[in-house]
Amino acid sequence: MPTPASPPMNYLEAFGDKAATISLLTWALLVLSIAVVAIIALLTAAGVVMRRTSLDAQATGREPIARRGGGLSWITVGVALSTLALFGAMAWNAYTMAAINRPPREAALTIEVTGHQWWWQFRYKSDDPSQIFDTANEAHIPTGAPVRLEVHTQDVIHSFWVPALGEKIDLIPNQTNVTWFEAQMAGVYRGQCAEYCGRQHAHMAIVVIAETPDAFAAWRAAQLRAAPKQQGDLAAGEAMFQARCGACHTVRGTLAGGKLGPDLTHVATRSGIASNTLQNTTATLTGWIADPQRIKPGNKMPTLELQASELTAIRRYVESLK
């Protein structure tokens, strides 16, 4: 078995039952396609080489018009064989569609996916309101169980796509699309917005981290915690954050409650920032807070013209949001 993320988005490799069913079909069609192209190319090339005559005969227009039989049997046989292959593929297709239409087992978890220009909001749903929380751009799921996805969008059309887990579904305004996926193996799976959604469509990547049910439960418990009350320097950073960033970002447990940008309560635990445009490191974080427009031109986070000291304080506070 290959390890996940080995080419991170290649979907000829599959890491879940659903993805495996699909990629088997895709492989079959690919092989069939290559065979068909090879046969046709060979027939054409062989015909050209074996039956050709010289250009001169042509130039005078005197070359008699040659006919070796009507040739209709070529069409009959060729089309019959093509149709046969096509109907075989169609049957396999129908079988695959039926197989992946519904999850095989009850879903372990429902994630509400909301698309924004240009980031992802993941809400972990629960019947118990106190168990609901938000995260952004990086989703965690337990292995070995179907996960139900309810997707919709705040603005334009996006498409949620995690190739190795076999799912792509459009996010359409005023509509909730429901689907599911599943990872058999723990690992990091990359995905990306697949439907053009404006200037930063290129920078709207997704990371799905599949982990054992235990690890997932631990992660979930950690996510549910609000940010702790900060002391000293960090408290000053927190205040600055609330003043400058709180209108757009939420940090649960503090006064920052903005809804325009991603929830940052546990942002320091994520591997990437700006919808996984950058690795989450001190340097990139500083650069991003200082001038997000340079990194992702046109994105909805303004350049705030922060003083160097403000920048450091805010960045240090953000890094404390574990």
Partner 1 sequence: MAVADYDRSLELEQSGAPARDRLTHIWEGEPGLKGWLSTVDHKEYGKRYIATAFLFLMLGGVEALVMRLQLAGPNKTLLTPEQYDQLFSMHGLTMIFLYAQPVLSGFSVYLFPLLLGARDMAFPRLNAFSYWIYLFSGLFIYAGFVIGYGPNDGWFNYVPYALTRYNPGPNMDFYAIGMILFGVSSTAGAANFVVTFLRARAPGMSINRVPILTWGTVTTSFGILFSVPAVSLAFFLLWTDRQFGTHFFDPSGQGQPLLWQHLFWIFAHPWVYVVVLPAMGIVSDALPIFCRRPLVGYTVVVLATVATMVMGFGVWLHHMFATGIPFLALSFFSAASFVITVPSAVGVFAWIATIWTGRPVLSTAFLFFAGFIVMFTIGGVSGVMTAAAPSDQQLTDTYFVVAHLHYVLIGINVLAVMGGLYVWFPKMTGRLLDERLGRWNFWTVFLGFNIAFLPMHWTGLAGMPRRIYTYPEGLGWTAVNVVTTIGAFILAAGVLLLLVNVLVSRRHGAPAGPNPWGGPTLEWATPSPPPPYNFAVIPAVASRHPLWERDLRESGEHSSIQRGMALDEGKEMLSTSALDAEPELIQKMPEDTLAPLLTALAATALGAAALVHAWIAAAILALLLLAAVLAWLWPRREMGQISERRHA
Q: Using the rule CB under 8 A, is 291 a contact of partner 1?
A: no
Q: Using the rule CB under 8 A, is 155 a contact of partner 1?
A: yes
Least gap, CB of 149 to Cu ion (angstroms): 17
**Stretch 130-169 residues interacting with Cu ion (CB under 5 A):** 158
In the numeric block, the tokens 């069609």 are attached to 29
Least gap, CB of 153 to partner 1 (angstroms): 9
Q: Using the rule CB under 8 A, is 74 a contact of partner 1?
A: yes
Angle at 270 (CA atoms; ends 268, 254), nearest 5 degrees? 45
Least gap, CB of 144 to partner 1 (angstroms): 22
| Other Cβ atoms within 10 Å of 67 Cβ, number | 7
Sign of CA dihedral 307, 310, 316, 319: negative
Q: At what angle do helices 308-319 and 232-244 cross, to 10 degrees?
A: 110
**Stretch 195-254 residues interacting with partner 1 (CB under 8 A):** 195-202
CA-to-CA distance for 272 and 42, rounded, in angstroms?
49
Close Cβ partners of 313 (under 8 Å, ≥ 6 residues apart): 233, 236, 237, 240
User: Up-side HSE of residue 178: CA atoms within 13 Å toward CB?
Assistant: 8
User: Up-side HSE of residue 222: CA atoms within 13 Å toward CB?
Assistant: 14
Stretch that binds partner 1, among 9-17, 219-227, 282-290, 311-319 (CB under 8 A): 9-17
Stretch that binds partner 1, among 24-32, 215-223, 252-260, 283-291 (CB under 8 A): 24-32
CA dihedral 140, 220, 283, 316 (to 10 degrees): 170
**Out of 186, 193, 251, 318, which residue is the one contacting Cu ion (CB under 5 A)?**
193
**Out of 123, 201, 259, 316, which residue is the one contacting Cu ion (CB under 5 A)?**
201
101 binds, among partner 1, Cu ion, none (CB under 5 to 8 A by kind): partner 1
CA-to-CA distance for 212 and 185, rounded, in angstroms?
8
CA dihedral 310, 315, 320, 322 (to 10 degrees): 140
Stretch that binds partner 1, among 120-128, 133-141, 157-165, 231-239 (CB under 8 A): 157-165
CA-to-CA distance for 275 and 283, rounded, in angstroms?
17
Least gap, CB of 190 to partner 1 (angstroms): 8
Q: Using the rule CB under 8 A, is 114 a contact of partner 1?
A: no
**Out of 108, 126, 148, 168, which residue is the one contacting partner 1 (CB under 8 A)?**
168
Stretch that binds partner 1, among 107-115, 168-176, 208-216, 253-261 (CB under 8 A): 168-176
Stretch that binds Cu ion, among 20-28, 81-89, 201-209, 291-299 (CB under 5 A): 201-209
Residues within the interface to Cu ion (CB under 5 A) = 158, 193, 197, 201
